[in-house]
Amino acid sequence: MKLLKAISLGAIAFTLATGFGLGGNALKSSKKVKKGPVEISVPYAKYTKYFGYVDQNVKPEGKYKNKDAYYLYVWVPAAADEIGLSMISPAKGKAGKKDFKHSNFKAGMKSDKKAYFDTYLVLDRMAVVDPGKIKSAKKVLDTLAKNDDSSELPKNPGGSKYNSLLRHKSQLGNPTKAIVRGLYRITFTSFRGDVKGSYLATVGTNVPGLKIADSLEELHKIVNK
């Protein structure tokens, strides 16, 4: 009986720690629970994935600290206690039917599926809470979090832990740090060379219904269809 209990605890710890059996998500929440002697990070209730590819066909949309920057836009349909975001390059796994994909992803992977870049992430909240106004969004209200390198994510093909992961806890008493229903922007770039190759962006929350797109116009269509 003791052996079975030990095996059971080990299996739970392995599942939560690796994401095996939970969609393989390396991104976990900041919440931790104890399983016997082991403290484990708890997965988010919901994950939304975006598969993208950057090459000469995808033009930068802005600058971040004098580097070419690219944007993804996220619609969060309800207040959340925490939001997590990771970006892995090159992309891992295959896109499912419910996952979001850039229009250039298939062609880019066919051209060079091994290309990758060292990721840098910024999460901003934009000045839109009405889904009918997504396509006209312009102003960024607050920067919630940013990250360069994360030791929690898999190494890139060069053997370095240069993939990015960030988490932000909602602060309801602080309007500039609260995670409310509305529009958010992910800025990504690289400070070690150019942005080129595939990537997998994963957003984790405890609320369903997140939508992601690479343009405001596309996100507007997805959310309001």
d(CA 31, CA 42): 6
**44-224 has which fold?**
Jelly Rolls (2.60.120)
Q: Is the pLDDT of residue 72 over 80?
A: yes
Nearest CA-CA partner of 80 in 223, 166, 207: 207
In order, the DSSP letters of 24-57 are: S-----S-EEEETTEEEEPPPSEEEEEEEEESTT
Q: What is the pLDDT of residues 155-182, one digit of tens each?
A: 999 999 999 999 999 998 898 999 999 9
Domain boundaries, the chain: 1-43, 44-224
Q: What is the pLDDT of residue 25?
A: 62
- Nearest 10 degrees: CA dihedral of 175, 72, 158, 155? 50
In angstroms, rounded to a whole number, what is the distance separating the alpha carbons of residues 46 and 212? 14
The 10 Å CB-count burial string (b at 16+, else e) for 150-173 is beebeebeeeeebbbbbbbbbeee
pTM: 0.88
Q: CA 147: distance to chain centroid?
A: 11
The candidate with the shortest Cα–Cα distance to 185, out of 99, 95, 60, 76, is 76
- Quick: pLDDT tens for 46-69: 999 999 999 999 999 999 999 999
Alpha-helical runs (H) found in the chain: 2-18, 105-111, 216-224
Write the single-letter amino acid at 134: I
Cα–Cα distances in angstroms (integers) from residue 209 to residues 3, 23, 138, 184, in the given order: 41, 17, 23, 14
User: What's the pLDDT score for residue 36?
Assistant: 84
